[in-house]
Structure 1
Amino acid sequence: MTERVDDRWFGDWIGYSAAATLASVVLILANPISGYPRTIVSAGLVLALFPVYWYLARPSRAGIRGNTWRAWTYVGIATAVYFAAYGLNTWANIALFIVSPQFFLVLSAIPAAAAIVVINFGGVLVRWLVGDLDPGDVAGTLGLTVLIIAVSVYFSNRITAVTKESRERGLLIDRLREQQREIAELSEQQGAAAERERIAREMHDTLAQGFTSIVTLGHAVQGELESDPATARRHVELMTDTAQENLQESRRIIAALTPGRLAESTLEQALGRVAGRFEEEAGVPVAFRVTGTPRPAAPALEVVALRVFQEALANVRKHARAGAVDATLAYDAGSLALTVHDDGRGFDAGAPRDGYGIDGMEARVREAGGAFALTTAPGAGTRLRVVLPAEPIGEAP
């Protein structure tokens, strides 16, 4: 069973193979100990291994430690090419830094170790056959070869093991991110469901019962207008009183859904108070300004803007270590835009996050039909911009 790799890791490994191949070719050409013709051919053979590996055994085709026919074909070709290049110029043994990790990438541990033993001892045999190995150097060469084999097996196996562990950690992080998003969505759905249930109870216990009374009285009045005008007038008065009570109850329910800061003030005033309190409590100056012509917007949209502003400043206080905050509330023809920019330490927007503040803000804005944009980088501060589709609903006070 093969183990697939992601594109980023595959690109890194191909980059290493290309760099190592180029370095080996340069070293061989820089040491023409067997003459330039043989050295050039030796370097060309080493260089030819890269396209062969790319086609036959790169991870995207053969998988990691897959023992496929492509992998075995590459191992055979690489071994033969290495022997030929080594026989032409002994500096070609530098190519072992390329093929040893490759063998461990495309074969499982035992076959890869066997292939490394063969290619190293085969190199000693090649030196002996071409007459480059003196009898007195055999023992030392064999000992050095055994050491090279041990080091190659150990480090090549560790490289692939660490690579596999890193890939598994990456997959685990992706799964954790997905679970965090699911948990955030479930929490938001449960909160919304609880709020809908509460509002439904309020409406049932007040508005629905009041409207039922009005309908009942209306039917009674229809039969009393001619036969008993006095009773009809009394019932009409009761209908009026009930309607007024329902109106008050509806206002109370709406007020319960609206933050206290917006109950008796405009959005820009509420945001200004939030900014002022933040500056007093956190000691971080906030430059808050309003552009465009202020006007009332839908209460739900103003609530979204207020909540986002509060959460943005809370994040600045908890994480940013900022020296100053710049905030702008902009009124355009058909939209309401809120921008919050701090000069703090910033963060990696793609890294896993512990809390749900940013995700919660984005979800709230998306549900309101708005656009959410977060720009940040380590050491570069954070800029949050929210645009809500706020059509005018009245004249500015």
Structure 2
Amino acid sequence: MAERVDDRWFGDWIGYSAAATLASVLLILANPISGYPRTVASAGLVLALFPVYWFLARPSRAGLQKNSWRAWLYVGIATAVYFVAYGLNNWANIALFIVSPQFFLVLSPISAAAAIVFINVGGLLVRWLVGDLDPEDVAGTLGLTVLIIAVSIYFSNRITAVTKESRERGLLIQRLREQQREIAELSEQQGAAAERERIAREMHDTLAQGFTSIVTLGHAVQGELEADPATARRHVELMTETAQENLQESRRIIAALTPGRLAESTLEQALGRVAARFEDETGIPVAFRVEGEPRPAPPAVEVVALRVFQEALANVRKHAQAVTVEAELAYAPDTVGLTVRDDGHGFDAAAPRDGYGIDGMQARIREVGGVFRLTTAPGAGTRLTVELPSAPVEVTP
């Protein structure tokens, strides 16, 4: 089965090939030992190898498979071009620094090693055929050829091995990140399920039983209003007591779900503490002010305002690189407004986002019937404005 070429290193291979081709062409032109016409032709052939590799064997362009027909076609073209260029000028042998790594990129290790041996030995035969190899130079040239083959195979193979190890490491890191995301999602789901189970148990043990008692007493009162008014009156008193107890239990359950910062303080106090804590932790000053006459808002609205403020400051911490932050809590007759503005580098609001912070804020605000506005642009800072209803929110089942 054909092995997929690692195209994650595509940019580096192209950069290396371009640099090596340019250097080879310059060295050939700088050494016109066979005359300028032959030297220019030799340099032109070496230069032509780069576009051939770009259009034919470039992994990301052709979806190249190792040992595929495209790979062998490029190896054949590169070998033939090298032989002709080497026959025109001896300095063309430095083109081996171009093709040797490419052979290992597009062929399997054994096939690439065989191709490198062939192109080096073939180059020696080309020199002999053109009469450029003296008999007394055969031994030295042969030894140098063997050394070049060994070095080319070793270093090209090592480069390929490092590339493969890096690819496997990258795949492993990607799998680890995916597993971490899965674990985080499972943990979140498990935590949410546990919280739902706890709330359901609380409601079953308190509210549901109380409502059952009220319904039972209500049915009893219907038959006692005329026959036994005293007993009916007593049952009505019991229904009132049970309803009051249920009201207290419901308040206790709601209080257990309320953030700790709002448990014993007003919204403006809670936001002020969050701003002060952010300033202490980051060193970024937060100018927090309150407009209008403060008044209690529905608990759900105050929770949303607190969470949005926390998330906005968290985004400033992680992304904005801001110097200052301005925040305003404004009380209007029917709304509670929250504005957070920073002088950071901003971002493109229409671009795809990886995180869930902004989407999470929008979802929270929609749940309570609020309005969310975001104004930002690269280099222009970010302004987040929220308007929340100050009247109690009716949640439909």
Bin the TM-score by the shorter chain: 0.7 to 0.9
Deviations 1:214-253 (A, max 9, x none): 1111111111222222222221111111111111111110
Question: Judging changes above 3 Å, is the alpha-carbon distance between structure 1 residues 7 and 334 closer, same or farther for their aligned structure 2 residues?
Answer: farther
1:125-136 to 2 correspondence within 5 Å? 125-136=125-136
Shift of residue 189 of structure 1? Answer: 0.4
Shift of residue 254 of structure 1? Answer: 0.3
Partner of 1:73: 73
Give, as a single letter, the amino acid of the residue that structure 2 aligns with 1:392.
Answer: P
Cα distance in structure 1, aligned partners of 2:165 and 2:259: 49
Structure 1: 5+ residue stretches without partners: 344-357, 376-382
Q: Determine if contact 1:295/1:392 at 8 Å carries over to the other structure.
A: no
Cα distance in structure 2, aligned partners of 1:185 and 1:360: 13
Partner of 2:351: none
Partner of 1:227: 227
Partner of 1:168: 168
1:358-397 to 2 correspondence within 5 Å? 365=361, 368=364, 391-394=388-391
SS at match of 2:32: coil
Partner of 1:354: none
Partner of 1:14: 14
SS at match of 1:328: strand
Shift of residue 6 of structure 1? Answer: 6.0
Partner of 2:153: 153
Question: Judging changes above 3 Å, is the alpha-carbon distance between structure 1 residues 186 and 69 closer, same or farther for their aligned structure 2 residues?
Answer: same
Partner of 2:288: 289
Give, as a single letter, the amino acid of the residue that structure 2 aligns with 1:47.
Answer: L
Shift of residue 393 of structure 1? Answer: 2.4
Shift of residue 57 of structure 1? Answer: 2.7
Question: Judging changes above 3 Å, is the alpha-carbon distance between structure 1 residues 39 and 289 closer, same or farther for their aligned structure 2 residues?
Answer: same
1:107-256 to 2 correspondence within 5 Å? 107-256=107-256
Give, as a single letter, the amino acid of the residue that structure 2 aligns with 1:391.
Answer: L
Cα distance in structure 2, aligned partners of 1:335 and 1:133: 89
Pairs aligned (count): 368
Question: Judging changes above 3 Å, is the alpha-carbon distance between structure 1 residues 244 and 177 closer, same or farther for their aligned structure 2 residues?
Answer: same
TM-score normalised to structure 1 length? 0.78
Question: Judging changes above 3 Å, is the alpha-carbon distance between structure 1 residues 249 and 307 closer, same or farther for their aligned structure 2 residues?
Answer: same
Deviations 1:146-183 (A, max 9, x none): 11111111100011111111111111111111111111
Shift of residue 287 of structure 1? Answer: 2.7
Deviations 1:313-362 (A, max 9, x none): 89999x99x9988473566989755578999xxxxxxxxxxxxxx97967
Deviations 1:123-142 (A, max 9, x none): 12222222222222222222
Q: Determine if contact 2:311/2:361 at 8 Å carries over to the other structure.
A: no
Partner of 2:369: none
Question: Judging changes above 3 Å, is the alpha-carbon distance between structure 1 residues 48 and 285 closer, same or farther for their aligned structure 2 residues?
Answer: closer
Matched, 1:28 2:25: no
SS at match of 1:133: coil
Identity %: 76
Deviations 1:72-99 (A, max 9, x none): 2222221111010011111111211111
Question: Judging changes above 3 Å, is the alpha-carbon distance between structure 1 residues 334 and 302 closer, same or farther for their aligned structure 2 residues?
Answer: closer
SS at match of 1:152: helix
Cα distance in structure 2, aligned partners of 1:300 and 1:180: 32
